[in-house]
Amino acid sequence: MSSGDQARTTTGQAAGPDGITYLSGFGNEHSSEAVPGALPIGRNAPQRAPLGLYAEQLSGTAFTEPRAHNRRSWLYRIRPSAAHPGFVRLEGGRTNPALRTAPFTEVPDPNRLRWGAPPKAPAGTDFLDGLWTVGGNGDVTQRSGMAVHLYAATASMTDRVFSDADGELLIVPQDGGLLLHTEFGVLRADPGHCALIPRGVRFRVELLGPHAVGYVCENYGQPFTLPDLGPIGANGLANARDFLAPTAAYDDADRPVEVVNKYCGHLWAATYDHSPLDVVAWHGNLVPYVYDLRRFNVIGSISYDHPDPSIFTVLTSPSDTPGLAGVDFVVFAPRWLVGEDTFRPPYFHRNVMSEYMGLIEGAYDAKAEGFVPGGGSLHNMMSAHGPDRETFDRASAAELRPQKVDDGLAFMFETRWPVIATEQAMAAGHRQHGYDEVWQGLQRHFRN
Ligand SMILES: O=C(O)Cc1cc(O)ccc1O
Ligand SMILES: [Fe+2]
C-alpha cells in the first residue's frame, strides 16, 4: 500500500489493496459492523445486545480523563473476554528472555552506540518470539517510559494471540509486510508504514513473506497522539485523515488458541477454547491504526538554517509537563532542502532528550556510511553527535542548489529519559564497536 494506491469509497472508508477496507481519521469516533445489525443503536449496553453478542468496554484512559484525551471503545463479541481460564506464567524455554521491560537495571552508558542489521531469525520464530529489546527507560508499573525493541520473524502466529498490558506497540516494519489481525479487524503494515496496537488489544501477526524484520516502540506512557500544530496552522505534518483503522472482522473459531499476555514485564499464557478475535462489531475512539509515513507533509525552512527535528513529529506521547514528551515518533521523510548559507544536514548537538534512530531504507543525510537499514543508533541524553566527518566535509563545501533528499526513510524515537541499553544490546554481535571513529579527523580550521 503506497500513498497512491488507496481508493476512497463514497462512504468515507478507505479501500486498500487485498480488499482490506479501512476507516479514516485520528481520534475520531469510528463504528463498524461485520454483520449488519450487530451494532446497537442509541445505547452501548442494551439489555440484550443484537445477534446474541456480548457488549464489553475497553478503556485506554481513565474514565475521568478530559474528554479531549479520553479513549475507549465498545466491542460486541461472541464471548466476553472475561470467559477465559487462568493465566500461567511462561518460564524457561516457553518465554522470550530477549524481551525486556523497564525498569532496566543496567548501568546507563554515556557513549554513542550503533548497531548494524541484526541476524535473521531461525525458522519457526513468530513475532512474539522474535522480539528483542535494545533498551528503554521508566517503570512499567508507573506507566512511564518506553522500550525500543527489534523484531525478526519467520513464521506467522496462527493459534497464538498476543496482548500487551504494559503499553501500546508502535510497529515500524523495515523488511517484509505484516497482516495484523486484531480484535478490531485486520491492518496491513508494509515497510514505510507504522502501525499502532493499543495497550491490551489482542492481535496476531501474519507474515506476508518468508520473513519480517522491523522496530517496535513500546510506549508505557500516555497514548500517542498527533502533535499540536501551533503557528503551522490547521494542516500539515501527519494529516489525521491518513490514519487508517480496521473495519470489524471476526474469527468465529471454537478451537484452542493460546493467548499470551505481557503483564508488568512477564509473559503469562492461557489456552482459550475459542479465538478472542471474535468481535463482530465495535465503536469508539480507541483503535489500532496504520499510517503510511510517505504521506507525511514535511515542513521545513525555506530561508536559512536547519530546523529542529521536532518539526518532523508524527506522533507524540505527552508527559505531565506541557511540551515535554515521554516519547516522540519522528520521521525523516523525502523533502527538499533549499536553505541559503546553511549547513543543511543535521547540525552538531548535545540534546537533553535521548534519541534512538532506525533506518527503514536507503541512507540518512547525517551519516555517510555505517547507519544501515535495519540497524540503529542511540545518542543518549547530552551525548555529543551530529554529522560524521565525511558528511561535514561534503556539506560544508556543497554548492547550495535546491536539493531533493529522497534516498532514504529514517525515524527516531526521542524520549525525555535516557535509554538504558540492555546487556544483550551491548554484547550483540551486530553492535558496531568503534562508532566514535566517525567523528575522528574533524580538522581544526580556526584562524585568528
Ligand atoms: O541526531 C540526529 O540525527 C537526529 C536529529 C536530526 C536533526 O535534523 C536535528 C537534530 C537531531 O537530533
Ligand atoms: Fe540527534
Q: Give the model confidence (pLDDT) of 139-198 as tens digits.
A: 999 999 999 999 999 999 999 999 999 999 999 999 999 999 999 999 999 999 999 999
The CB of 366 under 6 Å from ligand 1? The reply is yes
Q: Judging by DSSP bridges, how do beta strands 257-263 and 160-164 pair with one another?
A: parallel
Measure the CA–CA gap between 389 and 392, rounded to whole angstroms.
Answer: 5
Reported confidence tier of residue 15, pLDDT bands at 50, 70, 90: low
Summarised one tens digit per residue, pLDDT across range 16-26 is 656 799 999 99
CA 316 to centroid of ligand 1, rounded, Å: 17
SS3 154: coil
Mean pLDDT computed over 405-412: 96
Tell me the per-residue pLDDT of 201-238, one tens digit each, with 9 for 90 and over: 999 999 999 999 999 999 999 999 999 999 999 999 99
Tell whether residue 385 is among the known ligand binding residues.
Answer: yes
Nearest ligand (C-alpha, residue 388): 1
Question: What H or E segment, with its residue span, contains residue 186?
Answer: strand 185-189
Asked whether the beta carbons of 390 and 369 are under 8 A apart, the reply is yes
Question: What are the residues facing 146 on neighbouring strands?
Answer: 137, 219
pLDDT per residue as tens digits for the range 328-383: 999 999 999 999 999 999 999 999 999 999 999 999 988 889 999 999 999 999 99
**Residue 445 annotated in active site:** no
Would you say the CB of residue 412 lies under 6 angstroms from ligand 1?
yes
C-alpha cell of residue 365: 543525510
- The dihedral built from the CA positions of residue 54, 167, 425 and 195, taken in this order, carries a sign that is positive
Instruction: For the chain, give the percent of residues with pLDDT over 90.
Output: 94
Is the Cβ atom of 344 under 6 angstroms away from ligand 1?
no
To which H or E segment does residue 391 belong?
Answer: helix 389-397
Asked whether residue 349 is marked as a ligand-binding residue, the answer is: yes
Predicted model pTM: 0.96
Over residues 239-248, the mean pLDDT reads 98
Q: Ligand 1, atom 1: nearest CA belongs to which residue?
A: 386
**Ligand 1 centroid from CA 234, angstroms:** 25
Tell me the C-alpha distance between 420 and 9, whole Å: 46
CATH class of 296-435: mainly beta
Ligand 1 centre and the CA of 283: distance in Å? 39
Q: Is the pLDDT of residue 80 over 80?
A: yes
Which residues have CB less than 5 Å away from ligand 2 (the ion)?
355
Q: What number is the average pLDDT over the span 295-299? A: 98
| Residue 16: per-residue pLDDT | 61
C-alpha–C-alpha distance, residues 29 and 249, integer Å: 18
In ligand 1, which atom is closest to the CA atom of 345?
A: 8
The Cα–Cα gap between 22 and 299 comes to 27
Q: How deeply is 104 buried, as exposed, middle or buried, from its count of CB atoms within 10 A (0-12, 13-18, 19+)?
A: buried
Q: CA-to-CA distance for 50 and 38, rounded, in angstroms?
A: 5
Nearest to 161 by CA among 201, 217, 213, 196: 201
How buried is residue 356: exposed, middle or buried, by Cβ count under 10 Å (0-12/13-18/19+)? Answer: buried
- Say whether pLDDT at 60 is over 70: yes
How far apart CA 8 and CA 246 sit, in angstroms, is 15
d(CA 100, CA 378): 17
Which ligand 1 atom lies nearest to the CA of residue 347? Answer: 9
355 known member of a binding site: yes
Q: Point out the catalytic residue in the list 306, 379, 433, 445.
A: 306
Q: How far apart are CA 433 and CA 114, in angstroms?
A: 8
User: Mean pLDDT over all residues of the chain?
Assistant: 95
Q: Quick check: 422 and 106 in contact, CB under 8 A?
A: yes
Question: Pairing state of beta strands 30-33 and 257-263?
Answer: unpaired
Distance 308 CA to ligand 2 centre (A): 9
For residue 54, pLDDT beyond 70: yes
What was the pLDDT predicted at 431? 98
pLDDT at residue number 17: 54
Q: How far is Cα of residue 45 from the mean position of the Cα atoms in its chain?
A: 33
Q: What is the pLDDT of residue 366?
A: 83
Q: Does residue 12 register a pLDDT over 70? A: no
- Please say if the pLDDT value at position 127 is more than 90: yes
C-alpha 262 to ligand 2 mean position (Å) = 31
* CB-count exposure of residue 388 (10 Å: 0-12, 13-18, 19+): buried
Strand, coil or helix: what is 92? helix
Q: 355: CA distance to ligand 2 center in Å?
A: 6
Q: Is 342 helix (H, G, I), strand (E, B) or coil?
A: coil
Q: Please tell me the residue having the least CA distance from ligand 1 atom 7.
A: 346
Ligand 1 pocket residue status of 355, Cβ below 6 Å:
yes
Query: Where along the chain do its domains lie?
Result: 296-435
| pLDDT surpasses 50 at 9 | no
Does 300 contact ligand 1 (Cβ within 6 A)?
no
The SS3 of residue 388 is coil
pLDDT over 90 at 261, yes or no = yes
430 is in an annotated binding site: no
- Rounded distance, CA 412 to CA 228, Å? 18
114 lines ligand 1 (CB under 6 A): no
| pLDDT one-digit tens code per residue, 26-40 | 999 999 999 999 999
Q: What is the ipTM of this complex?
A: 0.98
Q: How confident is the model at residue 433 (pLDDT cuts 50, 70, 90)?
A: very high
- Grid coordinates of 313: 513529529
Kindly tell me if the per-residue pLDDT of 256 is higher than 50: yes
In this model, does residue 6 exceed pLDDT 50?
no
Q: Confidence band (pLDDT; 50, 70, 90) for 14?
A: low
Ligand 1 site, residue 349, Cβ cutoff 6 A:
yes
- Give the DSSP H or E segment for 320: none
pLDDT band at 3 (very low <50, low <70, confident <90, very high): very low
The reply to whether ligand 1 has any atom less than 6 angstroms from the CB of 16 is no
Residue type, 268: W
b/e for 178-216, b at 16 or more Cβ within 10 A?
bbbbbbbbbbbbbbbbbbbbbbbbbbbbbbeeebbbbbb
Per the CB < 8 A criterion, the answer to whether 362 and 372 are in contact is: no
